């Protein structure tokens, strides 16, 4: 089936008991067994839950994995919960290669949690696969990519880095949260594992926290299923239900996110109060050609640097009315933040430090003219000071 149909139907057949067209929230911790050790597919909700299973089938389908194909998805309690599952596959002395502009939470986990357990890490500019190759060590077990990256919106050539990972026999994990499976499918391009924070675009309504890992590799999938059951960072049934609800409108929402973001990026590029704009859909983006090959559209995220520096970034972020000053992204409402002081504070003073005057926009699905007017008043007022 096509993407929009899978988003509504994969794993979401009408309930056989009542005929309900929406998957029920199975708020139960345990299940009756017909005899000791003989159950009907579910025994304990940490191990498996029908609502969570429906979400996992849907997520796998959106990444191109059918129910009868090897591999699948696991739904976790958060994006960092999904990241932790990858961490559990590592042993002391193993090396993880990170992008040099990774999400702050990802950096914190590998550099300040796993490093204390003997896991080694280093960071490299992954926009050039040659640099990735030279940064490999004999102990490299995971190559971790974000594309587009958070918050600089750089792209990683998934096919090229995937080839490097295969040669190194390293697990290639792609955090595709910004793109969603609607805009790109990393598994089709050479990734071993796709990670999503389902909190963001997949949920889409800023009302749930969740994560997911998806892989076609049956051995990895079996390992992930064992680890999530053993460690327990599962998605609860209501959280899974909320993400399922969000998936149904993912395609139409992403179309509007991308359309609005493209208009805003072009507006910002010509505004005298803006020094630089980072958006893969702009022809001025240094990797625009890669974006055109690898992504369906430019996405809903924009970063910019205002003319007035750090103080201007703070004033602008406080001056918008429709763009709420808040962390996170991917909801129907527009958000604005200053990453260096908010989502990326954990990388301050490291090689992954982001510009202090960078503003990040999560462009929502409001009417484009209202969003443009809101940004114009905030930027123009600050530029006139």
Tokens of 370: 């209202």
Residue 179 phi/psi, 5-degree rounding, is: -90, -35
Question: C-alpha distances in angstroms, 110 versus 99, 106, 107, 122, 346?
Answer: 12, 6, 5, 10, 12
Annotated catalytic residue within 52, 154, 185, 200: 200
Do residues 94 and 213 touch, judged by C-beta distance below 8 A?
no
Neighbours of 41 (CB within 10 A): 8
- Catalytic annotation on 103? yes
Instruction: Look up tokens 């090959």; give the residue.
Output: 293
Q: Is the dihedral of CA 57, 224, 102, 338 positive or negative?
A: positive
β-strands 120-124, 140-146 pairing: unpaired
Do residues 175 and 146 touch, judged by C-beta distance below 8 A?
yes
Which residues are paired to 99 by β-bridges? 124
Annotated catalytic residue within 52, 101, 103, 157: 103
Annotated catalytic residue within 101, 157, 175, 239: 175
159 by Cβ neighbours in 10 Å (0-12 / 13-18 / 19+) ranks as: middle
- Catalytic annotation on 175? yes
The helix/strand/coil state of 129 is: helix
Residue 30 phi/psi, 5-degree rounding, is: -140, 170
- Catalytic annotation on 200? yes
The helix/strand/coil state of 363 is: coil
Distance between CA atoms of residues 230 and 223, nearest Å = 10
Annotated catalytic residue within 46, 137, 245, 315: 46
Continuous H helices in 270-341: 288-294, 309-319
Residue 264 phi/psi, 5-degree rounding, is: -70, -40
The answer for residues whose C-beta is within 8 angstroms of residue 345's C-beta and 6 or more apart is 104
Do residues 319 and 377 touch, judged by C-beta distance below 8 A?
yes
Question: C-alpha distances in angstroms, 340 versus 57, 150, 318, 348, 385?
Answer: 37, 11, 15, 7, 23
By annotation, the residues acting in catalysis are 46, 103, 175, 200
């Amino acid at each position: 089936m096509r993407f929009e149909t899978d988003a509504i139907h994969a794993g979401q057949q009408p309930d056989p008991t009542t005929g309900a067209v929406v998957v029920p929230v199975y708020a139960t911790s345990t299940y009756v067994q017909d005899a000791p050790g003989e159950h009907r597919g579910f025994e304990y909700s940490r191990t498996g839950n029908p609502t969570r299973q429906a979400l996992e089938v849907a997520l796998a389908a959106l990444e191109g994995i059918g129910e009868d194909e090897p591999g699948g998805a696991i739904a976790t309690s958060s994006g960092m919960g999904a990241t932790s599952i990858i961490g559990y596959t590592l042993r002391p002395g193993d090396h993880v290669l990170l992008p040099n502009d990774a999400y702050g939470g990802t950096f914190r986990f590998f550099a300040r949690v796993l490093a204390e357990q003997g896991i080694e890490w280093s960071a490299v500019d992954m926009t050039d696969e040659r640099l990735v190759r030279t940064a490999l060590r004999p102990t490299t077990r995971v190559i971790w990519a974000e594309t587009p990256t958070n918050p600089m919106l750089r792209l990683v050539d998934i096919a090229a880095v995937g080839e490097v990972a295969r040669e190194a026999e390293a697990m290639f994990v792609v955090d595709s949260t910004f793109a969603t499976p609607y805009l790109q499918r990393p598994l089709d391009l050479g990734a071993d594992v796709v990670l999503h924070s389902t909190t963001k675009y997949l949920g889409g309504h800023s009302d749930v926290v969740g994560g997911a890992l998806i892989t076609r590799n049956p051995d990895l999938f079996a390992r992930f299923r064992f680890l999530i059951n053993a460690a327990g960072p599962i998605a609860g049934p209501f959280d899974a239900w909320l993400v399922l609800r969000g998936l149904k409108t993912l395609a139409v929402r992403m179309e509007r996110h991308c359309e609005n973001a493209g208009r805003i990026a072009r507006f910002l590029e010509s505004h005298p109060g803006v020094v630089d704009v980072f958006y893969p859909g702009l022809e001025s983006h240094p990797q625009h050609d890669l974006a055109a090959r690898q992504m369906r559209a430019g996405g809903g995220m924009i970063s910019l640097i205002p003319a007035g520096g750090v103080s201007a970034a703070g004033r602008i972020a406080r001056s918008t009315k429709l763009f709420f000053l808040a962390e996170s992204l991917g909801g129907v409402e527009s958000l604005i933040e200053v990453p260096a002081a908010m989502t990326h504070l954990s990388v301050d003073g490291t090689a992954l430090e982001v510009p202090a005057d960078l503003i990040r926009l999560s462009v929502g699905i409001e009417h484009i003219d209202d969003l443009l007017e809101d940004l114009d008043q905030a930027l123009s007022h600050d530029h006139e000071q």
